[in-house]
């Protein structure tokens, strides 16, 4: 097996990514559809980072930078390929992107119930900030 290779997603990858998330990602979001991901890639062509290994999609991360803060979403690794350095390669690519853009700190949205992810994020040097609470308001039904 070769080392994972990371690259920015293109619009040609989006259906594959959406199918991958059904297998590898925890939870769903209102924007986890073709239109939502297409808008992401159209607005910021480097934000959705893919990891490929032996020609197969094995991981994703969204590394969104709004000019002020660095946000990480959808860090997902194929269940059969976890604990092989794929998540670390994705986070390294995301962090390199953030530093290149002038970002100073990354934050990740992680489901409270996703204990496996908590271990992965801690191992990558991230810490929970229990004093913060996420507030949301969907703009569509």
From the list 120, 95, 105, the residue with the least C-alpha distance to 24 is: 120
| Residue 82 confidence (pLDDT) above 80 | yes
CATH architecture for the domain at 5-123: 3-Layer(aba) Sandwich (3.40)
**61: helix, coil or strand?**
strand
Place 141 in a pLDDT band, splitting at 50, 70 and 90: low
- Ranges of each domain in the chain: 5-123
The predicted-structure confidence for 50-70, as pLDDT tens digits, reads as follows 999 999 999 999 999 999 999
Query: Tokens representing 77?
Result: 């690794």
The stretch 127-134 carries a mean pLDDT of: 88
Query: Tokens representing 9?
Result: 């997603």
pTM for the structure as a whole: 0.92
Rounded to a whole number, what is the distance in angstroms from the first to the last CA of the chain? 44
The predicted-structure confidence for 101-116, as pLDDT tens digits, reads as follows 999 999 998 888 989 8
Report how far residue 17's alpha carbon sits from residue 35's, in angstroms, rounded to the nearest whole number: 13
What's the pLDDT score for residue 12?
A: 96
């Amino acid at each position: 097996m070769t080392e994972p290779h990371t690259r920015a997603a293109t619009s040609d990858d989006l259906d594959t990514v959406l199918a991958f998330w059904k297998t590898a990602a925890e939870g769903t979001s209102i924007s986890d559809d073709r239109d939502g991901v297409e808008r992401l890639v159209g607005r910021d062509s480097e934000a959705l980072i893919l990891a490929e290994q032996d020609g197969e999609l094995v991981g994703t991360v969204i590394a969104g930078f709004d000019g002020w803060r660095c946000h990480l979403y959808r860090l997902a690794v194929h269940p059969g390929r976890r604990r092989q350095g794929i998540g670390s390669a994705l986070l390294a690519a995301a962090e390199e992107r953030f530093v290149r853009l002038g970002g100073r700190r990354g934050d990740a949205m992680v489901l409270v119930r996703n204990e496996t992810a908590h271990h992965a994020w801690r191992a990558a040097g991230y810490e929970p900030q229990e004093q913060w609470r996420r507030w949301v308001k969907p703009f569509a039904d």
